[in-house]
């Protein structure tokens, strides 16, 4: 086998011209890094020679052969560019100066043009109609800036930096590799998929790494993923560099489990050598497409112990490019056929260019077999050449079956290439407005569990729309239980707990429960949001709930339990009124008050009717009427009972001691004045209550957290309390007067019944006042209605029912003789011995 220098020599002879060339009707230039030169200082500007001092790169050589094979395949096609032959000029861009020199050769004019033509470049016809390459971002930025002036189409197969998508700076640049903008999105979705929120971010010290680092930092911050450490991996350093060792020690100190390395493969290798030296194990490394499949990285000794490596890779394609073309074998055959004048009618270029290629007879033996990284990059070259061919096909009007072979200006072809949309081996090829190909990524994972290194496709990232899919069954983590490692600064809070940030990182926090009445919105985990006025939430809640509207409805079982006795009470009042009317002249009815009984029964009926205002949703009318109607009616009832009790006491007790008092009481219509006066005072209090604070329906939000109580606003006002207090005082007065007649004749003695009725009324009122506020809403309204019902029923039962019983069932006691006998017995008992 010839030494490597022999292979290098075959390219160094052509350092200043195309390394491979083929004539054709239209020429495509290819810029590939077949050799690489280390940066070096020069005394004066010069073009570096890609000679035997350069390091040979098999990757670039495979890409060269892919381009040659693709052009031959297109030339042999009967449907794409019929009767048109494509040629190529392939240049070795071993350094930046060689890349610029190759770019300027592409710009060499084809034919002579006037000064006016050159002034606008509209009719500028360059040596090549399009350029494929170069590979690196650094070289692509230079080439794109120069070619964009002339609008010469440039399609890169490996330059992914997002800056090249800016059409105002690089209008003629396109690429068949996804932009780093898509790669950054894929990485962020990957972190979100595994809930990694505490990561380290490293980038290589070049345009690729710094640009990707900046884009990642911006997008990670927008998605609440915290960057524990952000660093730049220095270039041109080896594993002994103190800077690299210091960076790796920082990764150990910050205790992150996930590190994103956005780096080129050349700079990533010494970094991982240091990682192995520092014995970092058990970490997840997220790689970019440039190094995740690069041999130069996974050949680092001991790298299989660093943990799990998961990364991006250009979307998996069939390996038919290198498999079918076998470029390392067909290089010589193609060159030989080209030298003999073969190749779809293309004429041979008699120059040292082909002699250079042909002279390297040992190239096939010196070329290493392509790996997966070479295969994916080769497909990008293959796609780029086909995109140019399809653009030419459309520009030359080849759809009719024959191409016109007109003169092609770069700007015309550029417009057609940007519009191409074709299928290539079941892959749809098209470009967006930025010249980026619509292609996603495969998510790959390193696998060291077999006899050697391999990579498994464990997921994919697709664009338009952006979507990440992961097959968990294919992932082999470095952990013992094969579970995804956790990388967080603080453990997630429980449901309904907000985060209280510590320091400058939002991912480092403590958890605090959201209080009642607030909830935790998942869009903002650092603040508890208050619920709406008609909503409520318990402590540690993640949502608010509608409050229950609470009022005593007609259909409520409690309402029916109250309405039934109210209706019976009103029927009883009506029945008593009929009985008393039929027996108005009997002694029992006269002793009960005579015609005054109908006033009391009417007041009872009005008081009962006021209870209906406590049921159903409160309205303005029911709120305004119910308190005055009951208070005034109850005042009339109590005043009548008090007056009747006072009259009886005067007749039997006070008349003998103070006869003038009873005479004045009778002569000046004392009963009517007392009843009217007390009623007037209560009416005035009610009028004052209505004027001061009119009772209106209101929604009480403070009664209960879960409920909104519909109530009348005057129920708890001071003016309403005054009317209640007045009735309580009047009841006490009635009780006192009735108690004075406890020893009167049996037929005139209402003291026991009235006293018992009033005591029952006081007891019910005390229970309601005690429970007031502890059970708001329906229970409180029902208790108030029950209190009034009990008071009315007690007075009705204590005062009227005994008399009705005598009238209906003991007629022998309802006679004048019986009453006279009762009075005589009382007189004899009171007479002195």
Higher pLDDT, 781 or 7: 781
Contact 338, 354 (CB under 8 A): yes
Cβ atoms < 10 Å from Cβ of 622:
18
Residues 479-489 have a mean pLDDT of 89
Confidence category of residue 830, pLDDT binned at 50, 70, 90? low
For residue 186, the model assigns a pLDDT of 94
Secondary structure (3-state) at 492: coil
Confidence category of residue 358, pLDDT binned at 50, 70, 90? very low
356 CA to centre of own chain:
63
Between 3-12, 248-257, 595-604, the lowest mean confidence (pLDDT) is in 3-12
> Which H helix or E strand runs over 625?
helix 620-649
Between 182-196, 268-282, 792-806, the lowest mean confidence (pLDDT) is in 792-806
What is the DSSP secondary structure assignment for residue 303, as one 8-state letter? G
Give the percent of the chain with pLDDT over 70. 80
What distance in Å separates the CA atoms of residue 77 and residue 71, rounded to the nearest whole number? 10
- What tokens were used for 656? 């003998």
Between 95-109, 116-130, 136-150, 634-648, the lowest mean confidence (pLDDT) is in 116-130
Q: What is the mean pLDDT of the chain?
A: 81
Q: Could you tell me where the DSSP H helices lie in 29-173?
A: 58-75, 96-106, 115-120, 137-150
Higher pLDDT, 450 or 206: 206
> Which H helix or E strand runs over 8?
helix 4-12
What distance in Å separates the CA atoms of residue 159 and residue 134, rounded to the nearest whole number? 7
Higher pLDDT, 179 or 337: 179
Given a cut of 90, whether residue 80 has pLDDT beyond it is yes
Confidence category of residue 763, pLDDT binned at 50, 70, 90? confident
Contact 302, 196 (CB under 8 A): no
Given a cut of 60, whether residue 313 has pLDDT beyond it is yes
What distance in Å separates the CA atoms of residue 245 and residue 227, rounded to the nearest whole number? 20
Tokens 């030339």 — which residue? 75
For residue 402, the model assigns a pLDDT of 87
| DSSP secondary structure letters along 243-299 | HHHHHHHHHHHTT-SEEEEE--HHHHHHHHHHHHHTT--SEEEEE-TTTTT-HHHHT
Residues 23-35 have a mean pLDDT of 92
Given a cut of 50, whether residue 50 has pLDDT beyond it is yes
Confidence category of residue 369, pLDDT binned at 50, 70, 90? low
For residue 267, the model assigns a pLDDT of 93
Question: What sign does the dihedral 587-589-591-593 (CA atoms) show?
Answer: negative
Confidence category of residue 704, pLDDT binned at 50, 70, 90? confident
Between 140-149, 474-483, 741-750, the lowest mean confidence (pLDDT) is in 741-750
Residues 135-162 have a mean pLDDT of 91
For residue 588, the model assigns a pLDDT of 81
For residue 400, the model assigns a pLDDT of 84
For residue 114, the model assigns a pLDDT of 40
* pLDDT tens digits along 490-507: 888 899 999 898 888 888
Given a cut of 60, whether residue 11 has pLDDT beyond it is no
What distance in Å separates the CA atoms of residue 374 and residue 361, rounded to the nearest whole number? 23
Report strand pairing: 20-22 vs 86-92: antiparallel
> Which H helix or E strand runs over 550?
strand 548-550
What is the DSSP secondary structure assignment for residue 431, as one 8-state letter? B
Cβ-Cβ contacts under 8 Å for 243 (sequence gap 6 or more): 234, 237
Residues 750-754 have a mean pLDDT of 65
For residue 669, the model assigns a pLDDT of 76
Between 182-186, 518-522, 588-592, 708-712, the lowest mean confidence (pLDDT) is in 588-592
Cβ-Cβ contacts under 8 Å for 167 (sequence gap 6 or more): 433, 434, 435
* pLDDT tens digits along 240-249: 999 999 999 9
Q: How many helices (H) and strands (E) does the chain have?
A: 28, 27
Identity of the highest mean pLDDT range in 99-113, 334-348, 652-666: 99-113
Residues 731-753 have a mean pLDDT of 67
For residue 422, the model assigns a pLDDT of 93
Contact 502, 508 (CB under 8 A): yes
Higher pLDDT, 125 or 403: 403
Tokens 């007031």 — which residue? 772
Residues 561-571 have a mean pLDDT of 91
For residue 741, the model assigns a pLDDT of 63
What distance in Å separates the CA atoms of residue 292 and residue 270, rounded to the nearest whole number? 15
Given a cut of 60, whether residue 368 has pLDDT beyond it is no
Residues 90-106 have a mean pLDDT of 88
For residue 338, the model assigns a pLDDT of 42
For residue 39, the model assigns a pLDDT of 66
* pLDDT tens digits along 388-417: 999 999 999 998 888 998 889 999 999 999
- What tokens were used for 711? 């109530």
- Assessment of whether the complete model's pTM goes beyond 0.95: no
What distance in Å separates the CA atoms of residue 221 and residue 313, rounded to the nearest whole number? 24
The partner residues of 25 in beta bridges, in order of sequence, read none
For residue 196, the model assigns a pLDDT of 94
- What tokens were used for 418? 């940007």
Omega before residue 465 within 30° of 0, cis = yes
Given a cut of 50, whether residue 354 has pLDDT beyond it is no
* pLDDT tens digits along 802-816: 888 888 888 887 777
For residue 695, the model assigns a pLDDT of 82
What distance in Å separates the CA atoms of residue 316 and residue 594, rounded to the nearest whole number? 109
Cβ-Cβ contacts under 8 Å for 633 (sequence gap 6 or more): 603, 604, 606, 607, 610
């Amino acid at each position: 086998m010839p030494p490597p220098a022999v292979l290098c020599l075959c390219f160094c002879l052509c350092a200043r011209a195309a390394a491979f060339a083929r004539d054709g009707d239209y020429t495509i230039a290819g810029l590939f890094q077949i050799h690489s030169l280390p940066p070096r200082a020069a005394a004066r500007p010069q073009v570096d020679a890609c000679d035997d001092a350069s390091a040979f790169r098999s990757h670039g050589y495979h890409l060269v052969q892919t381009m040659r094979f693709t052009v031959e395949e297109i030339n042999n096609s009967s449907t794409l560019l019929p009767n048109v032959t494509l040629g190529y000029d392939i240049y070795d861009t071993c350094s930046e100066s060689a890349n610029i020199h190759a770019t300027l050769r592409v710009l060499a004019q084809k034919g002579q043009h006037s000064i006016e033509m050159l002034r606008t470049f509209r009719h500028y016809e360059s040596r090549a109609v399009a350029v494929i390459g170069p590979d690196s971002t650094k070289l692509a930025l230079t080439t794109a800036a120069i070619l964009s002036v002339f609008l010469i189409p440039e399609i890169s197969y490996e330059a992914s930096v997002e800056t090249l998508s800016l059409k105002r700076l690089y209008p003629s640049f396109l690429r068949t590799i996804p932009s780093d903008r898509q790669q950054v999105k894929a990485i962020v979705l990957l972190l979100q998929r595994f809930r990694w929120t505490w990561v380290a971010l490293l980038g290589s010290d070049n345009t690729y790494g710094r640009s990707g680092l900046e884009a990642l930092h911006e997008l990670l911050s927008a998605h609440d993923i915290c960057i524990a450490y952000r660093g730049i991996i220095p270039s041109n350093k080896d594993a002994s560099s103190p800077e690299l060792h210091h960076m790796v020690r920082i990764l150990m100190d910050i205790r992150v489990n996930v590190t994103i390395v956005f780096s080129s493969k050349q700079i990533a290798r010494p970094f991982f050598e240091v990682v192995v030296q520092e014995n970092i194990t058990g970490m997840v490394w997220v790689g970019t497409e440039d190094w995740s499949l690069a041999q130069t990285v996974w050949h680092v000794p001991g790298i299989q112990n660093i943990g799990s490596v998961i990364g991006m890779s250009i979307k998996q394609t069939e390996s038919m490019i290198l498999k079918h073309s076998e470029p390392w074998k067909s290089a010589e055959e193609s060159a030989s056929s080209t030298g003999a004048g073969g190749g779809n009618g293309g004429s041979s270029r008699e120059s040292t260019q082909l002699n250079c290629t042909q002279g390297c007879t040992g190239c096939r033996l010196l070329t290493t077999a392509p790996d997966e990284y070479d295969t994916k990059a080769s497909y990008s070259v293959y796609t780029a050449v086909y995109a140019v061919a399809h653009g030419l096909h459309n520009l030359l009007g080849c759809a009719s079956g024959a191409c016109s072979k007109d003169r092609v200006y770069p700007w015309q072809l550029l417009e057609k290439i940007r519009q191409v949309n074709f299928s290539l081996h079941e892959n749809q090829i098209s470009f967006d407005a930025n010249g980026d190909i619509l292609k996603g990524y495969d998510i790959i994972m390193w696998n060291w569990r077999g006899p050697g290194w391999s990579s498994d496709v464990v997921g994919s990232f697709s664009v338009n729309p952006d979507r990440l899919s992961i097959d968990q069954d294919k992932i082999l983590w470095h952990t013992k239980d094969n579970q995804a490692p956790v990388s967080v600064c603080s453990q997630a809070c429980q449901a309904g707990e907000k985060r209280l940030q510590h320091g400058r990182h939002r991912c480092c926090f403590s958890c605090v429960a959201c209080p009642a009445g607030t909830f935790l919105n998942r869009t903002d985990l650092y603040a508890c949001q208050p619920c709406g006025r008609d909503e409520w939430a318990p402590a540690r809640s993640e949502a608010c709930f509608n409050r229950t509207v609470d009022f005593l409805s007609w259909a409520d079982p409690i309402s029916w339990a109250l309405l039934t006795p109210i209706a019976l009470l009103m029927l009883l009042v009506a029945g008593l009124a009929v009985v008393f009317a039929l027996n108005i002249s009997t002694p029992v009815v006269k002793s009960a008050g005579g015609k005054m009984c109908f006033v009391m029964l009417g007041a009872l009926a009005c008081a009962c009717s006021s209870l209906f205002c406590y049921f159903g949703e409160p309205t303005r009318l029911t709120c305004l009427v119910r308190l005055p109607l009951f208070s005034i009616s109850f005042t009339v009832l109590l005043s009548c009972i008090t007056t009747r009790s006072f009259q009886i006491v005067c007749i039997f007790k006070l008349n003998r001691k103070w006869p003038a008092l009873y005479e004045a009481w009778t002569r000046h219509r004392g009963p009517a004045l007392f009843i009217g006066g007390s009623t007037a005072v209560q009416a005035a209090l009610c009028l004052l209550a209505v004027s001061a604070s009119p009772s209106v329906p209101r929604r009480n939000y403070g009664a209960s957290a879960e409920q909104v109580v519909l109530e009348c606003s005057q129920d708890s006002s001071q003016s309403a309390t005054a009317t209640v207090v007045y009735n309580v005082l009047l009841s006490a007065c009635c009780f006192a007067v009735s108690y004075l007649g406890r020893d009167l004749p049996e037929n005139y003695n209402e003291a026991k019944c009235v006293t018992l009725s009033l005591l029952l009324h006081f007891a019910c009122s005390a229970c309601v006042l005690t429970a007031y506020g502890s059970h708001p809403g329906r229970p409180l309204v029902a208790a108030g209605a029950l209190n009034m019902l009990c008071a009315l029923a007690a007075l009705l039962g204590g005062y009227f029912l005994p008399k009705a019983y005598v009238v209906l069932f003991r007629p022998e006691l309802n006679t004048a003789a019986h009453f006279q006998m009762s009075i005589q017995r009382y007189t004899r008992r009171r007479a002195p011995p």
